[in-house]
Structure 1
């Protein structure tokens, strides 16, 4: 069967699906799109990194919410949806060959079908339009992306209809290369076993998000992954916001054996399964790098912000603040992680590791860990539970953390049997626990290098002399 015949069949298939869906023939633009401000969230610009005191990227941390539908006259001179040039669409226009899409989900679907058949291209959406999707094909609201396609959102929003079937918005298939900019994606939804409530990226697929908001997308809280994005390919996210998405695991992004890079972005208010769910960013068997980003007010059972499992994770110039987990409020590590020039602050857990729980080799460098709380266990700042591998704290500060539970210790750092910690040019100060030691509770092995200061911790800086002593620690 020829490629043109397949394309024609696919186009007819989508048109039939669209016509069969109730209410999809008439779609109006949004008169307003309200910004969703996360209640109580700190301004990212006020969260300084530990090493240089520079602020995080500015912004409100919220995403665009549900649009208010209303009619709007685009006066396109007849159809005109495929006309090129600036016209009244304004904003980001793409290249000279970009196609302008009417404020109509049917036109968006038709253009995507055409670009898949024509080996890719660029689309410019109608300025500030609200595209409401009602058709569902193979759990997707739009045709699967199989070619290089760029969509310039122009401030538009694409959403699943509130009373529609459950489906994600985009799927990037094998060979697909999707670039999205200046766009909001909201209300994508999948049930039990779903992957990627907003966007799914297959192995050998690519996704690039630039100034994109993924807001209130979801997969079921049982046996499902990636509330906003599920990635098996290569995904790059920059200058974007992932806000109030939900899933069992990886409510913001689930990176399954893929490559994930996030920069200058905000990941806020995402919720995972409260019983056994993994946090906002879940890296499993993949590679994840987070740079100049804020992860705040996220919730997960195993870590609120980031969980690294059987992969490699790197964090640079980022802040993990006000997250909550049962274990490891900010970061949970089962495999190697490198954190530098960052802040882990004001996170809370019911059990171990208010700021971090470290079960494998890790380097924490030029980083401040403060104001974290382990409510009913040990390691207010950090809990080290690995056996055989070393956790290095270098040029860092661990201060004013708490392990307040009755009979509990290690307000700053707790180290389990077999755990190894190296402190180099690091300060452990002002931490509090119910019993000794308030600073470093050591049941493993601690080595020190350079200027190490363990002072002003309550009730003691380190535990009694002779029981796994901490070098250079007195009182």
Structure 2
């Protein structure tokens, strides 16, 4: 979806012999009192004005929404349909959800013709039960805080305590972006996506941010968000920090302490690259740390990253993440590559991650490429990752590799350091099948061995 631009207005200067460009259409600036009716009226007026508008909210005011928009009751405020800047000046726009009398609605929706710049504003307590991109019920729920189908720029703001919940599919607890968006210097924290249905194979995706994009996230923090699904429905909880279904760029951003929880289902990573698509997820700088994917009696697939499309990761610290599946299968404490995934991983640190499956199967404490994907890793540090499975199978402390059903999965390692990792077998690397190539690796001091089975990894001994 392309960005909208306000056309230049041309005019003539009286008495002049040449035509000169006139000034841009007047950008109206409106002071909005600390009053919800005033805020609603200001948005409605801006939507109908001919040029861009700036709404300056009352400094540090809390606008408490208790009823939805009369025209579009899935939203708390009128749909943004024109070019509007909301300068919050430290204000909060909050759905006042105390008690059962307040209906559930998201805070903001940017329509296809809308162009919203949101700055210095906290968006809180939104609760999406519908999805503007898929309006026919019963359907998914998208964007508890904001859903953008137009153009959106968010800077120096905060999204906290927002929820998207559905019996079909839920995505974007804090932010849902099927349009063109950017998020910078913004905190996305304590948001939720919930699949509450009973059918097999439901999903909750992108507790912090869900992107059908394109989207750019820079210098932001995605922390403490949760994705959960109904127990024993074999459903998917993934992307507790961010889920990418389209072109996504994340730069110098901290993604930490997020959780995907799928008892008897599939829990996938704080950073998830959704379905195979032409768009690429690119991450540069920042950190993915202390996140958890938890699937008791199910499948935990990637604690930090789960990639099943095109992805590039460069200069990122991936540490302290956990994939946990008691009585199930836990793969890729730090990074997991799916069967359709292609991951280029360079100049990064993959340290102190864990795959843990008591009475189950755990594989790939740091890196996991088990089902036919393609992993190319250059100049990374793979250190102190752990695979544990008391009463079960634990393999590949640093890396677990298998070729998948086709046997054609490939991992190419070049100039990496793989040290001080541990598992029951293959403390450094465990190769089950497929194609694994080493070029100039440092593989040492892993427990109980560097590579397993013996002779399976040419160039690795001990």
Q: TM-score range by the shorter chain?
A: 0.7 to 0.9
Q: Does 1:408 align with 2:394?
A: yes
Q: How does 1:33-432 map to 2 (within 5 A)?
A: 97-119=28-50, 120-137=52-69, 138=72, 139-162=74-97, 163=99, 164-191=102-129, 193-202=140-149, 205-220=150-165, 222=167, 223-247=169-193, 248-256=204-212, 258-274=213-229, 276-301=236-261, 302-309=267-274, 310-311=276-277, 312-325=280-293, 326-350=300-324, 351-359=330-338, 360-376=341-357, 377-387=362-372, 389-405=373-389, 406-417=392-403, 418=407, 419-432=409-422
Ranges in structure 1 where 5+ consecutive residues have no aligned partner: 1-94
Shift of 1:249: 1.5
Question: 2: CA distance between counterparts of 1:217 and 1:464?
Answer: 48
| Larger RCO: 1 or 2 (CA < 8 Å, sep 6+) | 1
Q: Is the 8 A contact 1:186 1:215 kept in 2?
A: yes
Q: What SS does the corresponding residue of 1:109 show, helix, strand or coil?
A: helix
Q: What SS does the corresponding residue of 1:116 show, helix, strand or coil?
A: helix
Question: 2: CA distance between counterparts of 1:407 and 1:313?
Answer: 32
Question: 1: CA distance between counterparts of 2:342 and 2:27?
Answer: 50
Q: What SS does the corresponding residue of 2:365 show, helix, strand or coil?
A: coil
Shift of 1:410: 0.3
Shift of 1:238: 0.3
What TM-score do you get using the length of structure 1 for normalisation?
Answer: 0.76
Question: 2: CA distance between counterparts of 1:282 and 1:267?
Answer: 8
Question: 2: CA distance between counterparts of 1:282 and 1:233?
Answer: 16
Q: After TM superposition, what 4+ stretches of structure 1 lie above 2 angstroms from structure 2?
A: 190-193, 280-285, 301-304
Shift of 1:246: 0.2
Question: 1: CA distance between counterparts of 2:309 and 2:269?
Answer: 17
Shift of 1:191: 3.1
Question: 1: CA distance between counterparts of 2:128 and 2:252?
Answer: 30
Q: Describe the superposition over 1:399-451 as per-residue Cα deviations: whole angstroms up to 9, x where unpaired.
A: 100112143210110002333111111011000001x21100012221122x3
Q: Is the 8 A contact 2:142 2:171 kept in 1?
A: yes
- Relative distance call for 1:282 and 1:294 in structure 2 (3 A) is closer
Question: 2: CA distance between counterparts of 1:134 and 1:286?
Answer: 34
Q: What SS does the corresponding residue of 1:432 show, helix, strand or coil?
A: coil
Q: What SS does the corresponding residue of 1:273 show, helix, strand or coil?
A: strand
Q: Which has a greater percent of helix?
A: 1
Q: Describe the superposition over 1:151-201 as per-residue Cα deviations: whole angstroms up to 9, x where unpaired.
A: 110000000112411011100001101000011000001237321110011
Shift of 1:282: 4.5
- Name the residue aligned to 2:429: 440
Q: Is the 8 A contact 1:411 1:431 kept in 2?
A: yes
Q: Is the 8 A contact 2:376 2:411 kept in 1?
A: yes
- Name the residue aligned to 1:53: none
Ranges in structure 2 where 5+ consecutive residues have no aligned partner: 1-25, 131-139, 194-203, 262-266, 294-299, 325-329
Mean CA deviation greater in 219-228 or 413-422:
219-228
Q: CA RMSD in A?
A: 1.6
Shift of 1:472: 2.1
Question: 2: CA distance between counterparts of 1:313 and 1:118?
Answer: 37
Q: Is the 8 A contact 1:221 1:273 kept in 2?
A: no
Question: 2: CA distance between counterparts of 1:303 and 1:407?
Answer: 20
- Relative distance call for 1:385 and 1:470 in structure 2 (3 A) is same
Instruction: Return the match for 1:462 from 451, 456, 459.
Output: 451
Q: Is the 8 A contact 2:205 2:240 kept in 1?
A: yes
Q: What SS does the corresponding residue of 1:472 show, helix, strand or coil?
A: coil
Shift of 1:457: 0.5
Q: Which has a greater percent of strand?
A: 2
What TM-score do you get using the length of structure 2 for normalisation?
Answer: 0.78
- Relative distance call for 1:285 and 1:304 in structure 2 (3 A) is closer
